[in-house]
Chains A and B, each alone.
Chain A
Amino acid sequence: MSTPSSGSNPARITAEVVAKVAKLSSLQLSDAELVLMTSQLSGMLDHFADIDKLDLDNVAPLAQPFPLKNVFREDVVVAGLDRDEVLAAAPAAEDGRFRVPPSLGLGEQ
């Protein structure tokens, strides 16, 4: 990754923001990864500032190529996925359910 250019400097992403985004993303990043990520995201956001010069005030956003509408089907019973087959592909299962570590408390087993 190129080093950050000097001179014009739009609001640069900080290591604190990157750490917060990592938390929002459920990604445990090492300190080294945080430093690298800060520099790389910063470089990308500098490049992406090219669209700031466009006048977009009266432009409607386009989120999907074609308009989406809700799709319904007849209310009839059809076979779902086989539960055992689905659970067999999971890291841990018990009594017909996904098994996960405790979500509350300190997690002492």
Chain B
Amino acid sequence: MTKPFATVVDIASDIASGKTSAVEVLEQHLARITERESEINAFNLVTIEQARATAQQVDADIKASKPIGALAGVPVALKDNMCTRGIETTCSSKILEGWKPPYDATVVTRLQQAGAVMVGKTNLDEFAMGSSTENSAFGPTKNPLDTSRVPGGSSGGSAAAVAAGFAAASLGSDTGGSIRQPASLCGLVGVKPTYGLVSRQGIVAFASSLDQVGPFTHTVADAALMMEVIGGHDPLDSTSLPQPMPSLTSVLGQGVKGMRIGRLTDMPDGCEPEVLARMDAAYVALQAAGATIVDVSLPSLSYCLTAYYLVAPAEASSNLARYDGVRYGMRVETGDLHSMYGATRAAGFGAEVKRRIMLGTYALSAGYFDAYYGKALKVRRLIANDFAAAYEKCDVILTPTSPTVAFPLGDKTSDPLTMYLCDIFTIPTNLAGHAAMSVPFGTGAHNMPVGVQVLAPALGEQTMFRVAAELERAS
């Protein structure tokens, strides 16, 4: 498919070579924001002044022949759950409205060091809890390809910002599919790296054993470059893996000859026929490129939803205990401390966040722990074991990223469980801590994009990106 906007790789190269300037590139993106943002609502905040200052600095550095970073002058957007020093970070929640963090997240620092130009903070489902970006205190984000439809979630603003040409790339966070699903629904590449490959320092925690940061881009090469900038060990994150970031940009041309591609024999129900047709086409394409298709099975797949919707809320109920009206954001004044906690949290959190805090607290509470949280952790072990067995037979596994293309706004908001089913293919990766990415692979119903998900074992990013690059060539 032809890409409607300039890629990260092309922008960086054109700015470095003097073919264009960082200011010129920024103004093109800001013009598109002016034109369509009121319709899309991708951003909670557009940081025009800071962006212009950074772009001017990049141009000055180039003029002075100073060394520049790999992303010098590339406009990027950040999900609004990433701490930016002195710049509002809200998680799309009333409870954090107005909060200006006293430090930058490590990924933000790395983007800055690479010369990227931050254009704004993007909308999300409150505290990253959702699959449609409709659970936001700042209103829903629309899918730029069809504004009657959702962009997916929870990183829907980050996906929409790239799909609408507001930024060349963006960062999201993925706890159960929150990068891959919106990437699929907006026709983008989206990466959920191996747990620990990208620092979580300064990312507002949702479920700490599942959260990872990754990029949204138009192309696989752009995603590889973004990963190389943000990935690698960070001493400030105690779960950061000790190894250096593997090179991804250098493996994209290596093809898939001799690779074993896993095809699920136990596909869950509920996939649109057009999505399944694109999956078939993906297997054919990889086979034509020299790969072998191998049938594999993940018997615990259908139980992942339950495991995830117990583990993630349990961790969230603990992580979100810190929003109590003392250290950040809003406070509802009452006579004593404990009623202040309760009143502040009641007024500050939205319905879905309250629901998950309640569910998590219940699953962890005395008398219910063994029946819910304890059992969910055992199911988590089962899926990890399933993957280990499958990866003895294949190098990667292909699934749809989402069972459906982007659905209409309001379609799934009345029943939380229906919304949770969007994540059936993306959740297992987070439970296992593995790598996965979504690659656009044609269109399905309503001419909306379909994403193919490439699943790889822990630290299987190089193999995963080779497959993704091949799918991109074939699409």
Chain A residue with minimal CB distance to B242? A71
Partner of A51, one of B334, B343, B376: B376
Contact between B102 and A85, CB atoms less than 8 A apart: yes
Report chain B residues within 8 Å CB of A40: 355, 416
Q: Given A65-B432, A107-B334, are A44 and B416 neighbors across the interface (CB < 8 Å)?
A: yes
Work out how many contacts link A and B, with CB atoms closer than 8 A.
171
Say if the beta carbon of A13 comes within 8 Å of chain B.
yes
How big is the B interface, by class?
35 or more
Q: Given A89-B328, A90-B328, A100-B340, are A25 and B357 neighbors across the interface (CB < 8 Å)?
A: yes
Say if the beta carbon of A28 comes within 8 Å of chain B.
yes
Report chain B residues within 8 Å CB of A35: none
Q: Given A13-B362, A44-B309, A82-B102, are A109 and B335 neighbors across the interface (CB < 8 Å)?
A: yes
In the bound assembly, the distance between CA atoms of A100 and B333 in angstroms comes to 9
Say if the beta carbon of B414 comes within 8 Å of chain A.
yes
Chain B residue with minimal CB distance to A109? B335
Contact between B336 and A105, CB atoms less than 8 A apart: yes
Report chain A residues within 8 Å CB of B241: 66
Contact between B335 and A106, CB atoms less than 8 A apart: yes
Chain B residue with minimal CB distance to A60? B381
In the bound assembly, the distance between CA atoms of A25 and B328 in angstroms comes to 18
In the bound assembly, the distance between CA atoms of A65 and B240 in angstroms comes to 12
Contact between A21 and B99, CB atoms less than 8 A apart: no
Map CB proximity to B onto A43-79 as digits: 1 under 8 Å, 0 otherwise.
1110110111010100111111110101101000000
CB proximity to A under 8 Å, residues B293-329: 302-303, 306-307, 309-310, 317, 321, 324-329
- Which 5 pairs between the two chains have the least Cβ-Cβ distance? A65-B433, A107-B335, A107-B336, A61-B377, A91-B331
In the bound assembly, the distance between CA atoms of A100 and B377 in angstroms comes to 37
Q: Given A100-B337, A101-B333, A109-B335, are A89 and B101 neighbors across the interface (CB < 8 Å)?
A: yes
Report chain B residues within 8 Å CB of A68: 238-239
Map CB proximity to B onto A81-109 as digits: 1 under 8 Å, 0 otherwise.
11001101111100000101111011111
Contact between A18 and B358, CB atoms less than 8 A apart: yes
Report chain B residues within 8 Å CB of A70: 238
Report chain B residues within 8 Å CB of A82: 102
Report chain A residues within 8 Å CB of B337: 100-103, 107
Contact between B209 and A28, CB atoms less than 8 A apart: no
Say if the beta carbon of A15 comes within 8 Å of chain B.
no
Map CB proximity to B onto A19-36 as digits: 1 under 8 Å, 0 otherwise.
001101111110001000
Say if the beta carbon of A5 comes within 8 Å of chain B.
no
Q: Given A41-B359, A89-B102, are A51 and B375 neighbors across the interface (CB < 8 Å)?
A: yes
Partner of B362, one of A41, A59, A60, A86: A41
Contact between B326 and A98, CB atoms less than 8 A apart: yes
Say if the beta carbon of B445 comes within 8 Å of chain A.
no
Contact between A27 and B357, CB atoms less than 8 A apart: yes
Q: Which of A63, A70, A92, A108 has the most CB of B within 10 A?
A: A63
Contact between A59 and B378, CB atoms less than 8 A apart: yes
Say if the beta carbon of A2 comes within 8 Å of chain B.
yes
Report chain A residues within 8 Å CB of B235: 71, 73
Beyond the given A54-B378, A66-B196, could you list 15 further A-B residue pairs with CB under 8 A, ordered by the A residue number? A21-B361, A25-B317, A33-B354, A50-B306, A51-B303, A51-B306, A54-B303, A54-B382, A60-B381, A61-B374, A61-B377, A66-B433, A68-B239, A90-B327, A103-B338
Report chain A residues within 8 Å CB of B310: 48
